[in-house]
């Protein structure tokens, strides 16, 4: 059976795999990267997201920090999804992800593996775990936009 919202076993596996073997974890010391620090008083998540934007595209995305399974796996998956995408394309993914979190209809194809978080909103307090990296990415894009002003 292929990966889809109807295959909960595979969704679980993707979360666990990205939690235990998170992708794109590194500390980048390069001023060309936009670095966003995401932490909050109400949870332990303490995550740094670093993106390199070239010619309107995400040419690299690295991250590091500490978080729960949901925030770790979601950040890992996002870091893979947005690689090589234009800001507009990544924005579209973010919008679809947010719709999924809000329980609204969303485009499965755009989200790919990230649909494994479709059920997170069963525990409303955990939505902030699943979208922490997307919120960070938005801040990074805002920063990039201001740079040009």
Partner 1 sequence: MKILDPLKIRQDFPMYRHDSLFEGRPLVYLDNAATTFKPYSVIKEGDLYYEDITANAHRGDYSLAHEVDVAYEGARKEVADFINADVDEVCFTSGDSMGMNEIAYGLLPLLKTGDEILLTFAEHASNVLPWYQVAKLTGAVVKFIPLDKEGRVTIDNFKSVLSNKTKIVSLASVTNVLGFLLPVKELCALAHSVGAIYVADGAQSVPHHKTDVKDLDIDFLAFSGHKMLGPTGIGVMYGKKKLLEKMNPLFFGGEMNARFDSCGYVSLSDVPLKFEAGTQNISGAMGLGKACLYIQKIGFDAIEEHELKLKKMAVEGILSNGNATIYNQNCEGGIITFNIDKVFAQDAASYLGSKGVFVRSGQHCAKILPEFLNTQATLRASLYIYNTEDDVKALIEACKHAEDFLDVFFN
Per the structure block, which two tokens stand in for 2?
A: 């292929």
β-partners of residue 86 are 57
Per the structure block, which two tokens stand in for 136?
A: 């960070």
Identify the residue among 2, 6, 88, 125 touching partner 1 (CB under 8 A).
125
State the nearest-atom distance from the C-beta of 138 to partner 1, in Å: 22
Cβ-based neighbours of 19, under 8 Å, separated by 6 or more: 69, 72, 73, 76
Q: For the window 17-46, what string marks contact with partner 1 as x by the rule CB under 8 A?
A: -------------------------xxx--
Per the structure block, which two tokens stand in for 98?
A: 């947010």
Cβ nearer to partner 1, comparing 90 with 120: 120
The answer to the question of residue 7 lying near partner 1 (CB under 8 A) is: no
Per the structure block, which two tokens stand in for 66?
A: 């500490």
The answer to the question of residue 67 lying near partner 1 (CB under 8 A) is: yes
* Options 28-36, 68-76, 87-95, 139-147: segment touching partner 1 (CB under 8 A): 68-76
The answer to the question of residue 1 lying near partner 1 (CB under 8 A) is: no
Chain centre distance of CA 37: 14
Cα 30 from Cα 125, distance rounded (Å): 35
Q: Which residues bind partner 1 (CB under 8 A)?
A: 8, 11-12, 15-16, 42-44, 66-70, 119-120, 122-123, 125-126, 129
């Amino acid at each position: 059976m292929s990966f889809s919202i109807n295959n909960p076993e595979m969704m679980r596996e993707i979360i666990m795999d990205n939690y235990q073997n998170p992708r794109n974890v590194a500390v980048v010391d390069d001023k060309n990267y936009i670095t966003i620090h995401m932490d909050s008083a109400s949870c332990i998540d303490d995550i740094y997201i670093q993106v390199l934007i070239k010619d309107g595209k995400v040419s690299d995305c690295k991250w590091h920090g500490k978080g729960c399974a949901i925030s770790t796996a979601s950040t890992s998956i996002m870091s893979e999804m947005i690689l090589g995408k234009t800001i507009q394309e990544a924005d579209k993914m973010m919008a679809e992800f947010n719709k999924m979190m809000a329980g609204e209809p969303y485009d499965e194809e755009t989200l790919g593996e990230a649909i494994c978080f479709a059920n997170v909103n069963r525990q409303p307090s955990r939505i902030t775990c699943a979208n922490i990296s997307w919120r960070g990415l938005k801040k990074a894009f805002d920063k990039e936009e201001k740079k040009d002003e």
